[in-house]
Structure 1
Amino acid sequence: MIPVTFFDGRSSRAHPATLAVEAQQAVLRDADGAELRRAPLSQLRVSERVRRAPRLVTFADGAFCEVTDHAAFDRLLAATGHRDGLVARAQNSWRLAGVAVAALVAVLVLGYYVLLPWGAGMMARAVPAELEARLGQLTLESLDQGMLAPTQLPAAEQAKIRAGFAALRRPRDAAHHYQILFRQGGEIGANALALPGGIIIVTDELVGVAGTGAGLMGVLAHEAGHVARRHGLQQVIQGSALAALSAYLFGDISSVLAGVPAAMLTLRYSRDHEREADAYAIDVMQRNGLPPAALADVLVALEQRESKPDEAQAERGEDFLSTHPHTQARIDALRRAGR
């Protein structure tokens, strides 16, 4: 028998009472011991326990009683075989709450590092080639409106580089039409940019560092790998997770693609994408009898240049290594591939 406060459901008046269980029935008595209610346990609703808040026992007709003595009520419930649900137990258990938080964190980490890249890759591969090419053209126009300047590279040097790239035997890629364009780097310095659709921009500054031989061909093959695998689109879609989710749910990808030109200007490839593009470049260079170590030499030259920037370069603060994060492991892999 435990003390409760009874409300008959017809008025707001509170009645002091006691609640007991007799022969699988709830028995409610007033302060004088007179029986007020008797009902089978199966017809009662028992509210979940929420810390120190009163629990409610509600009868079929809407009358209810409040219970504040939690310990006594728990013993009474246990004697009847009643057991709170998992959610109710978790709300009142630090251990279960901790497990739930840990599970949520695990799901978020899995979603961010596994499901999100996978979904972004699926969406990137679903973009029609015509639309991808249009996005590349829009990105080029955005770059030419302020970030890049017309090239000062001699026409003969440009032609030599284009001819060298055109002569490379590459994996078949019918979805992309590759174009090599040259610009003065300005803010992005010594760099190469792979735009959606197959446009590859090479800055005069990069040619000054890499030359026009095997090293630059390795850089161009690396950029072609980004295009062929649609890494740029994938990175942009992955960075617009909410818009991508909306596109998946409602079938409208325009909200994601509308932001592609602006997002491409600040693109930073993931290490996984850099390794994939390196593997593509190694394959292309080996097909054409070029040493993959030549690409490693370009990376080392850029790294040394970055460690001792001149005044103009320091003001820019951007170059190939900024947009293409690399590690010593990548350089070592390129050198091993040529052995």
Structure 2
Amino acid sequence: MDTAPPPVHPGLPVRYFDGRSSRPREVQAALADGQLHLTGPDVDRVVEARRVQWPERTRRGPRIAQLPGGGSIQTDDAAAWDAWVRGAGHGESVVVRLQQSWRGVLVSLFLLVAVTAAGYVWGLPWAARAVADRFPDGVEQQIGDTVLDQVDDFVKPSQLSAQEQQAIEQAWQQALRAHTAAQAARGVVVRPSRLLIRHSEDIGPNALALPGGTMLLTDDMARLLQHDTDVIAGVLAHELGHVQHRHGVRMLVQVGVLGFVTSTLWGDYSGVLATVPLWLGQAHYSREAEREADAYSVTVLRDAGLSPAVMTRLFERFALFKRCGDEVLKPAPAGSASACKTEPGTGADDDDEEKHGFWGLGFASHPADEDRIAFFRDAAR
């Protein structure tokens, strides 16, 4: 029995460029059995259809198919081309079909937004944690030193007396030694840290941890807490939690990734790189990082024989500071119960919080005060 030749679908007149000459030649293009046939005056060429770079279907514009070796076939009759391709059974990709459907475009846009949001909320923190766990200590220390140099523009040497500074340092070192010993018994190494006490008129009562283990405590924080070394130890335990979990490096990774994306979109890498160290010193940690630091501070306080409930005094004093402002940082006159005469809701205005910045222990990114107070009270039971 004779085998019938494969059917050749109706041809389409196209312009053929052979890749060597700029002169087009009118030929007939036909598709059959996975091959593209080009026939015309002085032209008889067969090309495997899979080797042709077929154009995507668009609403307007010519159709140009790139041939192997640099040639091409072209036509301005887009409708005729599309009908010819479909008649030959040459299917379109899913992407092309979606591009031609408004429903497909909407679905694609929704998926893009969903994937981007998921990457920002879950993917980026996960990646930052993974990178931070493998970040070289020496590089982290260099970053911390850079940030400290820039932070030093806002702070000055402590104005507390030598006895006040010594009392804070001794109380903290005692708590740190007890915690380090307890962690060693658990098989956990406490990352190195150092405490610096500084005076600042810009950031108010605060404490913050920098990459590399440097922890800053402001004079105003000590004054706000009335030099209660147990509460100050709790504040520093919270900052040690940031050091232990390497939150500074995590945030740096996240800022770097976001900065790279931003500079890819807008084409300005230098501005992003130049501002990362200062931004890192000023930015707030995420709520998740703050909860991790709170949980770590509970462990430190327990190891030091202190009740986590001492941290509730921190929030009481901050609430008073938010109402009364700098008055609570001044020693109360002899025989006076309080130097603050302001009633709740009538004291320092909303600009006061912005003025002091609330770095580190700032409330802008922390969980609600009530939740944190409840957490420390529960931990004390």
TM-score normalised by the chain length of structure 2: 0.68
Partner of 2:249: 233
Residues 201, 217 of structure 1: alpha-carbon distance in 2 compared, 3 angstrom cutoff: same
Tell me the amino acid that sits aligned with residue 202 of structure 2. Answer: E
Aligned counterparts of 1:67 and 1:188: Cα–Cα separation in 2:
68
- Equivalent residue runs for 1:97-176 within 5 Å: 97-144=105-152, 146-168=153-175, 169-170=178-179, 171-172=183-184, 174=189, 176=191
170-179 or 154-163, larger mean C-alpha shift: 170-179
Query: Is contact 2:14-2:29 (8 Å) kept?
Result: no
In angstroms, what is the RMSD of aligned CA positions?
4.0
**What's the CA shift for 1:283?**
1.5
Aligned counterparts of 1:240 and 1:199: Cα–Cα separation in 2:
21
The match for 1:207 among 197, 222, 232 is 222
**What's the CA shift for 1:280?**
0.2
- Equivalent residue runs for 1:79-94 within 5 Å: 79-94=87-102
Query: Is contact 2:62-2:74 (8 Å) kept?
Result: no
> 1:33-76 deviations in whole A, cap 9, x for unaligned?
xx999988965955331112233578999574526362x65555
Aligned counterparts of 1:143 and 1:52: Cα–Cα separation in 2:
58
304-313 or 276-285, larger mean C-alpha shift: 304-313
Query: Is contact 1:3-1:67 (8 Å) kept?
Result: no
Partner of 1:68: 77
> % of aligned pairs identical?
31
Note if 1:335 corresponds to 2:338.
no
SS in 2 for 1:277: helix
Aligned counterparts of 2:142 and 2:356: Cα–Cα separation in 1:
29
SS in 2 for 1:224: helix
TM-score normalised by the chain length of structure 1: 0.76
Tell me the amino acid that sits aligned with residue 97 of structure 2. Answer: R
Tell me the amino acid that sits aligned with residue 68 of structure 1. Answer: D
Aligned counterparts of 2:233 and 2:367: Cα–Cα separation in 1:
18
Residues 174, 29 of structure 1: alpha-carbon distance in 2 compared, 3 angstrom cutoff: closer
- Equivalent residue runs for 1:177-188 within 5 Å: 177-188=192-203
Aligned counterparts of 1:157 and 1:122: Cα–Cα separation in 2:
40
**What's the CA shift for 1:271?**
0.5
Residues 60, 43 of structure 1: alpha-carbon distance in 2 compared, 3 angstrom cutoff: farther
Tell me the amino acid that sits aligned with residue 112 of structure 2. Answer: L
SS in 2 for 1:321: coil
Aligned counterparts of 1:174 and 1:12: Cα–Cα separation in 2:
76
Residues 218, 124 of structure 1: alpha-carbon distance in 2 compared, 3 angstrom cutoff: same
**What's the CA shift for 1:2?**
8.7
Note if 1:318 corresponds to 2:327.
no
115-124 or 72-81, larger mean C-alpha shift: 72-81
Aligned counterparts of 1:213 and 1:199: Cα–Cα separation in 2:
19
Query: Is contact 1:27-1:37 (8 Å) kept?
Result: no
Aligned counterparts of 2:304 and 2:378: Cα–Cα separation in 1:
17
Tell me the amino acid that sits aligned with residue 237 of structure 1. Answer: V
Partner of 1:297: 313
The match for 1:197 among 212, 218, 236 is 212
Query: Is contact 2:210-2:248 (8 Å) kept?
Result: yes
Specify every segment of 5 or more residues in structure 2 that has no aligned partner in the other structure, as ranges.
Answer: 1-8, 262-271, 327-347
Tell me the amino acid that sits aligned with residue 325 of structure 1. Answer: H
Number of residue equivalences: 322
133-142 or 94-103, larger mean C-alpha shift: 133-142
**What's the CA shift for 1:216?**
1.8
> 1:205-245 deviations in whole A, cap 9, x for unaligned?
11122232432221111011111111112212311226789
Query: Is contact 1:134-1:197 (8 Å) kept?
Result: yes
Aligned counterparts of 2:139 and 2:31: Cα–Cα separation in 1:
72
Aligned counterparts of 1:69 and 1:244: Cα–Cα separation in 2:
40
SS in 2 for 1:202: strand
Aligned counterparts of 1:52 and 1:37: Cα–Cα separation in 2:
29
**What's the CA shift for 1:324?**
5.7
Specify every segment of 5 or more residues in structure 1 that has no aligned partner in the other structure, as ranges.
Answer: 246-255
Residues 11, 149 of structure 1: alpha-carbon distance in 2 compared, 3 angstrom cutoff: closer
Query: Is contact 1:4-1:67 (8 Å) kept?
Result: no
